[in-house]
Structure 1
Amino acid sequence: MINFNGTLFPRDKELLTANNRGLKFGDALFETLRCVNGTLFFWEDHYFRLMASMRILRMEIPMSFTLEYLEEEIKKTIAANDLESGAARVRLTVFRNGGGLYTPATNEVSFVIETSALESPFYLVNESPYEVELFKDFYVNKDMLSNLKTTNKALHVVASVFAKENGYANCLLVNTEKQVVEAINGNLFVVNGKQIKTAPLSDGCLDGIIRKKVMEIIASSEELELLEASISPFELQKADELFITNSIQGIQPITKYRKKEFGCEVAKSLVGKLNAKARLTQTS
């Protein structure tokens, strides 16, 4: 079952028309998050990111779009798919309603909620081979729109095709100044000794929720040092570890980039603390 504007429909129900602005112009936003035993991980962070993004795109935020209302609609969809007692992936998509060309006929919005089962209720470190390469055919722009989780992801799709065709697990994306900003599906962290570095939002990376949580963990640690600064491609092969963060996987270690192979000791230590943070959302 999927949830369209508060009403549940079978997953194969045709709901969207050819006039849909998300389809025609990429005029949509989405949030992807974990739900475990009925608890939405970091839901407040996802909600406030969505609201801020809607304001930036000048979408009209309905009065009904409260934190509590959207949480209730997500949980209703989870229950309709019998996923209340396990781990589930949730995607909430908000798109501007149809009409108009580049200039919308309205700024009113609709939403769709989709869910699917996940194997583990916890974030786990996957130590399987995970090789990446730079994707340099197209570049991420250094602006605020690149920070938003929109459906306008042509660059990420083409990079995914490149990765599949060449046998890579993922690709690292660079901006117009040839700085490494993120992976296809998450933020990048570079480990050198006790220093952990990630690209600043001003370089064009996604304003990721797990990026934010991992940065909080590092900043509060007495053993680790957080550095938010531009990443040069030349730094990658000199690093001790590389890892990617996103809301579904949590922390994904990179095991190989070109001729350099990496461990994942820091990633392992961080994923335990990330799970602890997630558990706090279940008890608060």
Structure 2
Amino acid sequence: MINDNGTLVKKNDVTLNPMNRGLLYGDGVFETIKAVHGKLLFWEDHYFRLMASMRILRMEIPMDFTPEHLEKQLVDTLQANNLLEKPARIRITVYRKGGGTYLPDERGVGYYIHAKEIATPFYTLSDKPYEVELYKDHYVNADILSTLKTTNKVLHVTGSIFAEDNAYDNCLLINNKKSVVEALQGNLFLVKGTHIKTPPLEDGCLRGIIRKQLLAILPLMKEYTFEEASISPFELQKADELFITNTIIGIQPITKYRKKTYTHTVTSALLQKLNVKARLG
């Protein structure tokens, strides 16, 4: 079942207007949320990121787009798909209504919500090999639009195809200043000794939800130092650990980049603290 602007519709009965601006111009934003037994993990952070993204894109936010209203729509969608007692990923896509060309005819919005069952309720550490490579065919622009989850993700699509064609598990993206920004499916963290760093938003990385949780956790781990700073490609092979974060997997350790292999000591410690935060949040 798909939630089409508050109405639950069978998947095969949903129709997409050919003038939908999300389709024609990538004029939309989305949030992908992990749900565990009907609870939306880090919902408040997802909600405020969605509202901030809509404001940046100059969308008119409906009066009924309250946290309570949207949460109910999401939970209703989970229930309609028999996912209230199962772990799931649920996505809300908000698009600008109306026609027009680059200039829209109106600023109002519509939305779709769909959900899918996933394997695990909480975050676990994978012990499988996970190899990455740089994707250099196209670059991330170091600007505020790159930090948003918009429906224009061609860079990530082509990068994912490149990764599959070359038997990589993921790729790391570079910005137009040649700094490493993020992975195709999440934010990047680097560990060297007792120092941890992640690219700043100014480099164009996604304003990630799990990134935000770790930014709150890391200052409390007094055995480590931490900074938001640009990462050069040369630093990757000097690191002791690299890991990727996103809402669905939590933390994914990278095991290999080119000839370098990595440990996951810090990754394991952070994952435990993230699970505690997820349960309490």
Q: Aligned residue for 2:199?
A: 199
- Would the aligned equivalents of 2:174 and 2:180 in 1 still touch at CA under 8 Å? yes
TM-score by length of 1: 0.98
What do residues 90-131 of structure 1 show as CA deviations (whole Å, max 9, x unaligned)?
Answer: 101000013000000011000111101111111011121110
Q: Aligned residue for 2:239?
A: 239
Deviation, 1:215, is: 1.5
Q: Aligned residue for 1:55?
A: 55
Aligned pairs for 1:1-284 within 5 A: 1-281=1-281
- Would the aligned equivalents of 2:2 and 2:14 in 1 still touch at CA under 8 Å? no
The residue identity in structure 2 corresponding to 1:157 is V
Q: Secondary structure at the match of 1:125?
A: coil
Q: Secondary structure at the match of 1:62?
A: coil
Q: C-alpha separation between the residues in 1 aligned to 2:197 and 2:127? A: 21
How many aligned residue pairs are there? 281
What do residues 235-277 of structure 1 show as CA deviations (whole Å, max 9, x unaligned)?
Answer: 0000000000000000000000000011111111111100000
Q: Secondary structure at the match of 1:89?
A: strand
Q: C-alpha separation between the residues in 1 aligned to 2:267 and 2:29? A: 29
Deviation, 1:15, is: 2.1
The residue identity in structure 2 corresponding to 1:28 is G
Deviation, 1:222, is: 1.2
The residue identity in structure 2 corresponding to 1:33 is I
What do residues 143-197 of structure 1 show as CA deviations (whole Å, max 9, x unaligned)?
Answer: 0000101011111111111101100000000000100000001000000111111
Q: C-alpha separation between the residues in 2 aligned to 1:165 and 1:249? A: 23
**Structure 1 stretches of 4+ moved >4 Å:** none
Q: Secondary structure at the match of 2:11?
A: coil
TM-score by length of 2: 0.99
- Would the aligned equivalents of 2:198 and 2:228 in 1 still touch at CA under 8 Å? yes
What do residues 64-100 of structure 1 show as CA deviations (whole Å, max 9, x unaligned)?
Answer: 0000000000000000111111211010100001300
Q: Secondary structure at the match of 2:23?
A: helix
Deviation, 1:6, is: 0.5
The residue identity in structure 2 corresponding to 1:55 is R
The residue identity in structure 2 corresponding to 1:95 is Y
Q: Secondary structure at the match of 2:217?
A: helix
The residue identity in structure 2 corresponding to 1:38 is G
Q: Secondary structure at the match of 2:59?
A: coil
Q: C-alpha separation between the residues in 2 aligned to 1:240 and 1:16? A: 47
Deviation, 1:11, is: 1.3
The alignment yields a C-alpha RMSD, in angstroms, of 0.7
Q: Secondary structure at the match of 1:275?
A: helix
Identity of aligned residues (%): 59
Unaligned runs of 5+ residues in structure 1 are none
Q: C-alpha separation between the residues in 2 aligned to 1:195 and 1:11? A: 48
The residue identity in structure 2 corresponding to 1:222 is K
